[in-house]
Structure 1
Amino acid sequence: MHHPVVIIGAGPAGLTAAYELVKNGIKPIVFEKGDKVGGISRTETYKGYHFDIGGHRFFTKVEEVQQLWLEVLGDEFIKVPRLSRIYYKGKYYNYPLSLFNTLSNLGIFESFLILLSYLQAKWQPNPVEENLEQWVINRFGKRLYKTFFKTYTEKVWGIPCNEIQAEWAAQRIKGLSLKKAITNALFGTNNTKTLIKEFDYPVLGPGMMWQKFQAAVEAQGGQVDLNSSVVRLEHDGKRIERVIVQQDGKLVSVAGDHFISSMPIATLIHRLDPLPPDAVLQAARNLNYRDFLIVALIVNREHLFPDNWIYIHSPEVKVGRIQNFKNWSAAMVPDPTKTCLGMEYFCTKGDGIWTMSDTELLDLATSELAKLGLANAADVEDGVVIRQPKAYPVYDHEYRRHLKVIQDYLATFENLQTTGRNGMHRYNNQDHSMLTGWLAAKNILGENHDLWEVNTERSYYEEFTIKPAQQEKVLAKV
């Protein structure tokens, strides 16, 4: 079996590449190991309820991507007003933090202590800013840092804040300080980056977009095979010759002229045959990931809170974020008298949360929902657990060096391109992942684009952690 282009992965990057190719008369084959398209941007369903693997807003400044969305989905987009807040000790705080809302919720005494802590930080600042903890305390004071920054950041990344680099914090918390927040509140000025007030969203979730892409690819002669895992890429010198695919318990050999991969780049390295040199294999082993699972709960309540999602900063619970899918699109919840919540847990494969059984996770999510005071446990009627390994590539203190070794090695293949979040170990949003797929297709069509230059904001390259003074913290390995 031979195809002009073989694409590994039917997520945003892979399907965008396939779509651009069929529009230009090239019929690729796409292999997806899962049972549905979309990758981490897919939509899962359970008893008629639709939910994301994390919320996926459709908003981009990339004109080519915006045009693709409209071209493929058309009038099946809806406009969704954006509302997301921080939930802490039973109260909602605006996000980003606003002065009067924050002070009102905290009360006079706590606000006074926060002000004293801030003044102390201004009077005796940390002389160095090597990590996020030092950086935030210098701008907000220790008390506000512990209240609104520490817990959530450590929930998401599983790394102490004093191991996260200050440069990364400077990019993620652009232009913010307590002084600036007070100035903005008193004088109405705001030079910080503002958040969008509404976004586009497919009426039945993001998976609807990728199903439309799949249908468009197949309608023009392309092929998308689900439940098809690429277990080996055979190469000879500077060219990939074929892939070996596991389908229905059998191994199938598929040759091709060009190959595009969005599988995790570390996994790709270990599936090359012959294997790369030991230094490249070791670099792949040293790339780390943060995993993710969502517990979707069906709650017998018509309304719970108006937000699309809320950030849970409360340290007494493990849940990090809660999606309210009814507030993304009412069509995602088949019974208008009920609500579907996505309880999101950031974890590492093999840790205490990841290894819990589905029953234990349903019990945990239900009890934490009640503990937060957002719903009664008795109102939770049903639920389901979805696990997503390798959801977030981790920018640890050596990731850039390891990735460069891998990148240089893969560059020796003249007919292989890697795309997407995991295919490039890049913390991309779906629009940037799509752009890498689109440009990969353009390269096959004769253009010359460097995919590694896509989304080159400094924050996407900044090392995420500082090297601990003693033993390195071990995260999930390939």
Structure 2
Amino acid sequence: MERDWRRRAVRRIVVVGAGLAGLTAARELLRSGGCAVTVIEAQPRPGGLAITVDRQGCRMDLGPHRWHTEMPEAHAVFESLPAGLRIEAVRRSRMLLGGRLLRYPPSLMELARRMPWRALGMAAGLLAARGAHPATSGAAPSDCAAALRSLYGRPIYDLLFGPYMGKVWKTPPEQLDAEIVRLRILPHRNRLARVARPRSNRRLQYLRGGIEALPRRLAADVERAGGRIICGAQAVALEGEAGAVRAVVCQTASEGAKRFEADAVLSTAPITNLAQMLAPLGMAPQAVESARSLEFLRLILVNLMIARDRAMPDSWIYFPEASIRINRAHEPKNFDPSMGPPGRSILAAEITCRGADAHWRAGDADLIATATRDFQTAGLIRAGDVADGFVVRLETAYPLYQIGFRSRLATVLEAVGRFGNVVTFGRQGLFNHNNMDHSIVMGLRAAQAAASRTPATAMRAFDAEFQRFRIVD
């Protein structure tokens, strides 16, 4: 039976998920030819986490989605967009610490000037960390707290990095894998420069009208090449046998259950969901259990519609202290002035959640009131500035890298790989911290793998490349 689909003149490919990774894979497959591609997407329109929301003429992305890449293949996709869409803006970041807005990344000179009683300890800790040599300091730290202390010293960790990591990940940093530091913190040779010297203002790249212009273009390319994109279709089951999937079953609001036959399945669904769908087809019980132990952080975006042209000059602001509930905020009009009409703007706040915690259970009105108080405390808005507000909730926003996650993930991926015509990829599909450019490259690699005789095996060959990805905020 397997030989049949490999010999088929036109292979039927089903892509689960119409985010950047899924759409890129579909477009690349159609360009290569010999494939009939169907993309199924649970949400009402393509885009995944890269959609842009419009409320009363004000627009916002699902978080600050500026474009940055050092990968030529991803940059070529961005450059293929019309020149009039590609714009630049000044990049400026700050953080609220000790009641003051300071530059971010932090300048040791500024910290010392604003907090002179801490200066000597911070400088001594940083210099001690700088002088520690890997050959004399023992094994590399396995947890996030130890890794950060080894980079910046205890005083800066206690003031800034420790509280912020615990706040964002809703987990004690001692329980987080040091992989987070490798992904998100500059390498050893740059650690002093990052804290001791402020970076000059840089420019960021963006798309006029919102980042959704990128998936919109990819989706148009897919449909122009003959591919189908079916939205409002939630993948709920897979059909087949041990070693291969033959169909994807979706639930739709308008037509009920729909079945799509497949010679290969490219899935960007959360790896936890994919494992549950593969379990009835013979996925190893140990792998299914390992998948259940993997956890995604949830994200709440609280968006205040303010009756002012701008609330702040920053691209984004970080809030490391526990007294402020929100983690980070950005103002879309600082990426593109056309994201709101004159005299009105959105101030977007992020709150991460671990499971259905108190913030996740809170009503929208309570969340809007919380964000309003926090922004007033930060001095960004005044009483009466908020004209309205709305909330967006994302259930699988960030993979949570707890200690030991890597071995559990390897167990799951190995079991998925035993289904020879299934490829899992993308942020949720590989449980991988991704920027947009990473998702695009993953989509390109998934298409390459799907074109081979053994897609699952071919995709695993790219694992080392994906693990070298670094997050750029």
Q: Distance in 1 between matches of 2:108 and 2:386?
A: 35
Deviation at 1:315, TM superposition (A): 2.1
Contiguous gaps of at least 5 residues in structure 1: 461-478
In structure 2, the partner of 1:404 is: 410
Deviation at 1:28, TM superposition (A): 0.8
SS at match of 1:455: helix
Deviation at 1:295, TM superposition (A): 0.6
Number of residue-to-residue matches in the alignment: 450
**Residue 371 to residue 249, structure 1, CA distance change in 2 (3 Å):** farther
Q: Distance in 2 between matches of 1:55 and 1:405?
A: 33
In structure 2, the partner of 1:472 is: none
Q: Distance in 2 between matches of 1:206 and 1:375?
A: 26
Q: Do the aligned residues in 1 keep the contact of 2:105 with 2:194 (CA within 8 Å)?
A: no
**Residue 317 to residue 236, structure 1, CA distance change in 2 (3 Å):** same
In structure 1, the partner of 2:326 is: 319
**Residue 170 to residue 390, structure 1, CA distance change in 2 (3 Å):** closer
Deviations 1:74-120 (A, max 9, x none): 431111221112222332222222232222222x3343464577689
In structure 2, the partner of 1:456 is: 467
In structure 2, the partner of 1:216 is: 221
Deviations 1:363-391 (A, max 9, x none): 11111111222111321111110001111
In structure 1, the partner of 2:437 is: 431
Structure 1 residue 200 corresponds to structure 2 residue 214: no
**Residue 95 to residue 244, structure 1, CA distance change in 2 (3 Å):** same
The letter for the 2-side match of 1:453 is A
**Residue 303 to residue 100, structure 1, CA distance change in 2 (3 Å):** same
**Residue 352 to residue 370, structure 1, CA distance change in 2 (3 Å):** same
Find the partner of 2:155 among 126, 143, 147: 143
SS at match of 1:37: coil
In structure 2, the partner of 1:88 is: 97
The letter for the 2-side match of 1:445 is A
Find the partner of 1:156 among 159, 165, 168: 168
Q: Give the % identical residues.
A: 27
Q: Do the aligned residues in 2 keep the contact of 1:60 with 1:66 (CA within 8 Å)?
A: yes
**Residue 139 to residue 261, structure 1, CA distance change in 2 (3 Å):** closer
**Residue 105 to residue 222, structure 1, CA distance change in 2 (3 Å):** same
Q: Distance in 1 between matches of 2:410 and 2:126?
A: 41
Structure 1 residue 445 corresponds to structure 2 residue 451: yes
Q: Distance in 2 between matches of 1:405 and 1:431?
A: 27
**Residue 102 to residue 256, structure 1, CA distance change in 2 (3 Å):** same
Q: Do the aligned residues in 2 keep the contact of 1:73 with 1:212 (CA within 8 Å)?
A: no
Q: Do the aligned residues in 1 keep the contact of 2:108 with 2:195 (CA within 8 Å)?
A: no
The letter for the 1-side match of 2:159 is T
In structure 1, the partner of 2:7 is: none
SS at match of 1:409: helix
The letter for the 1-side match of 2:47 is G
SS at match of 2:358: coil
Q: What TM-score do you get using the length of structure 2 for normalisation?
A: 0.87
In structure 1, the partner of 2:55 is: 46
In structure 2, the partner of 1:414 is: 420
Q: Distance in 2 between matches of 1:69 and 1:99?
A: 36
Deviation at 1:179, TM superposition (A): 9.5
**Residue 130 to residue 184, structure 1, CA distance change in 2 (3 Å):** same
**Residue 109 to residue 411, structure 1, CA distance change in 2 (3 Å):** closer
Structure 1 residue 263 corresponds to structure 2 residue 257: no
In structure 2, the partner of 1:103 is: 112
Q: Distance in 2 between matches of 1:254 and 1:376?
A: 54
In structure 2, the partner of 1:66 is: 75
**Residue 179 to residue 394, structure 1, CA distance change in 2 (3 Å):** closer
Deviation at 1:292, TM superposition (A): 0.6
Deviation at 1:3, TM superposition (A): 7.1
Between 1:68-77 and 1:342-351, the stretch displaced more is: 68-77
In structure 2, the partner of 1:35 is: 44
Deviation at 1:306, TM superposition (A): 1.0
Between 1:302-311 and 1:22-31, the stretch displaced more is: 22-31
In structure 2, the partner of 1:233 is: 238
**Residue 167 to residue 77, structure 1, CA distance change in 2 (3 Å):** closer
In structure 1, the partner of 2:192 is: 180
SS at match of 2:333: helix
Q: CA RMSD in A?
A: 3.0
Q: Distance in 1 between matches of 2:201 and 2:441?
A: 21
Q: Distance in 2 between matches of 1:274 and 1:132?
A: 37
SS at match of 1:243: strand
Q: Distance in 2 between matches of 1:315 and 1:172?
A: 21
The letter for the 1-side match of 2:228 is Q
Report matched runs for 1:294-443 at 5 Å.
Answer: 294-333=301-340, 335-443=341-449
Q: Distance in 2 between matches of 1:23 and 1:430?
A: 21
Q: Do the aligned residues in 1 keep the contact of 2:283 with 2:416 (CA within 8 Å)?
A: no
Deviation at 1:137, TM superposition (A): 4.1
Q: Distance in 1 between matches of 2:162 and 2:195?
A: 24
Deviation at 1:184, TM superposition (A): 5.8
SS at match of 1:159: coil
The letter for the 2-side match of 1:232 is A
Q: Distance in 1 between matches of 2:451 and 2:183?
A: 36
Find the partner of 1:253 among 253, 259, 268: 259
Q: Distance in 2 between matches of 1:176 and 1:386?
A: 37
Q: Do the aligned residues in 1 keep the contact of 2:329 with 2:349 (CA within 8 Å)?
A: yes
Q: Do the aligned residues in 2 keep the contact of 1:304 with 1:375 (CA within 8 Å)?
A: yes
Structure 1 residue 293 corresponds to structure 2 residue 300: yes
**Residue 280 to residue 166, structure 1, CA distance change in 2 (3 Å):** closer
**Residue 209 to residue 139, structure 1, CA distance change in 2 (3 Å):** closer
Structure 1 residue 23 corresponds to structure 2 residue 31: yes
Q: Distance in 1 between matches of 2:187 and 2:430?
A: 29
Deviation at 1:453, TM superposition (A): 3.1
The letter for the 2-side match of 1:66 is H
Q: Distance in 2 between matches of 1:68 and 1:116?
A: 46
